[in-house]
A and B are shown apart, each in its own frame.
Chain A
Amino acid sequence: MPRPRHLPLALLLVLACSSGGATGNVQVFVEAEDTIPEGLDPGDGDENVVDGWTVRYSKFLITVGDFEASRSSGGDEPLRDPARYVVDMLRLPAGGFILTEFDDVAAERWDRVGYSLPVADDATEAADGTAAADRDFMVQAAYSIYVEGEISKADGQSCALGDPMACTPAAKVRFNWGLAAGTSFADCAGPDGVTGFAVPSGGTAQIKPTIHGDHWFFTNITQGAEVTERRAQWIADADADQDGETTLDELRAAPAAKLFPAELGYNLSGALIPVVTAYDYLEAQVRTLGDFQGEGECPTRELL
């Protein structure tokens, strides 16, 4: 009788694929992409703004929660925490804000992971490090996100709806934008494309829903890897009264086709909502901010 040469390997594989009742823990942190605390700089690098603008944020509030993880193979009950928090992304605790924790869960791969960036409501709490006044502000306005900041460029110009014949100097342009753009994110995968996370036996898996701060500078709607350019001129060009601040009303009045032309590399197919105005572009990009484990994506997005 021939000896099964590969039995040891098969045995190892079986053991590797079975937790055998082993358990571990899960910690879920909310993390800010570097573009939020550090802003974006002009340049030709992968993370730079190619049209010369510098971006800095002075306020960046989000509402986050509804974490859920399960296994497509079935088994244990899903890991689920419906808690929602307003989080000041510029004042995260050292190491990140702990959104939720789970103890004694199966030491397996939990391949279905999701969370949401919903609008704030009365049940929404303030995260550690987030001022109660900021939480109250988000709840009263029913925002899912609020950002304040400015773009700057020494020789910057504001050109009415992109018309190069109608430009005025604009070295700085401010923005204060609050949106009710509740969105759920699912099928999260790490930067390597592998969905979910693995819980080590006797150890703790650290999971990081990651909020990005640069998507409203993208020339496309992210599909998997962020293969895109970053442009900020549209914010200056949407400042219709050229008073140095681009308001949401100005964005609503600005035709997207004029500010995001194909000639500059824009392709906004795949947006979760129809994009007609610059406000629509902003909202469409806000609805893509929820990422995972740094540069990983959560490609299944739904309106809340």
Chain B
Amino acid sequence: MSRPRRQHPSLVLAALLAAACGTTGAEPFAYPIAVVGAGASFPIGDWQVTLERAELALGPVYLCATAAASPDLCAVAQGEFAEVAVVDLLAAAPQPIGEVESLAGDVRSAMLDYGISWFTTQTSATAGSELGHSARLTGTAIRGDVALHFDALIDVLPQLRGSPALVGVRARVDDPDEGSRLLLRVDPGAWLLGLDFDALAAQGQSVEIRPGDPAHAAIAFALTTQPPTFSWTHE
């Protein structure tokens, strides 16, 4: 897990402002965040796909008080996981990745990066983890006696400087506190639904999927439109 420099909306500023105003109800607190992946084997059309490696760089994650999240509407995060964690999506159990630093109040949406951020102080988007990409998915797709091995390195880039790659992600909890637990569920199989395995198999028995490839565009698009699902529990 690495800690990139950041200039995104921060609740540290909010806490300082609250302290300056003498309030006591906005004391920051923290609660754990974990990530879990879905199954490693699934059908896609006529193909049976089995993932052998599924790593995701996740973060930063910003929790917003407004249902519609954008950098304008969520200038001050209600909560944030300000780091980038590389998660093994094939692990059976939820993996703790750190803590959400939070302020009191309801959460109604989220914004996040997949390990590649474009902060206002940067001239271009930069990877913030040792993975160097947003995700790596390798595996085998089998149809009858045809086997296709694939190795995909996926980059999901923020389109605007100062804006996370994903905004307005559905996330909703009323007034979390120190006893709260946030679990993000990720389904890497859903990210492969848009792949044309027939076309990939026509390229050979083993294919590399890299930025610029149509297959990369399909997977990166799916990461954007099928984000992690957020759920909170309370101990």
Contacts and interface: CB of A to CB of B under 8 A. Distances in A.
Interface of A: 187, 221-225, 227, 255-258, 260-262, 265, 267-272, 274-276, 297, 299-301
B183 interface: no
A297 B68 contact: yes
B139 interface: no
B68 A299 contact: yes
The 7 closest A-B pairs by CB, nearest first: A270-B168, A299-B68, A257-B221, A269-B166, A275-B225, A223-B70, A300-B67
Given A274-B226, A300-B67, A262 B159 contact: yes
Contacts of B225: 256, 268-269, 271, 274-276
Interface in B97-140: 108-109
A256 B221 contact: yes
B45 interface: no
Nearest to A221: B168
Given A222-B68, A223-B70, A269-B167, 5 more contacts: A223-B73, A224-B70, A257-B218, A267-B224, A276-B193
B169 interface: yes
A269 B170 CA distance: 10
A301 B70 CA distance: 16
A223 B217 contact: no
B168 A223 contact: yes
B217 A262 contact: yes
Nearest to A269: B166
Contacts of A223: 68-70, 73, 167-168
Contacts of B166: 269-270
Query: How would you classify the secondary structure of chain A's contact residues: helix, strand, loop or mixed?
Result: loop
A224 B66 CA distance: 10
B227 A269 contact: yes
Contacts of B224: 262, 267-269
Given A222-B68, A224-B68, A300-B67, A270 B169 contact: yes
Interface in B18-68: 66-68
A245 B220 CA distance: 30
A299 B221 contact: no
Nearest to B225: A275
Contact of B165 (A187, A256, A269, A301): A269
A203 B109 CA distance: 37
B190 interface: yes
A288 to B, nearest CB: 10
Contacts of B218: 255, 257-258
B174 interface: no
B96 to A, nearest CB: 25
B77 to A, nearest CB: 15
A275 B167 CA distance: 15
Nearest to A281: B225
B159 A265 contact: yes
Contacts of A268: 221, 224-225
Nearest to A271: B225
A7 B73 CA distance: 35
Interface string B62-94: 000011111011000000000000000000000
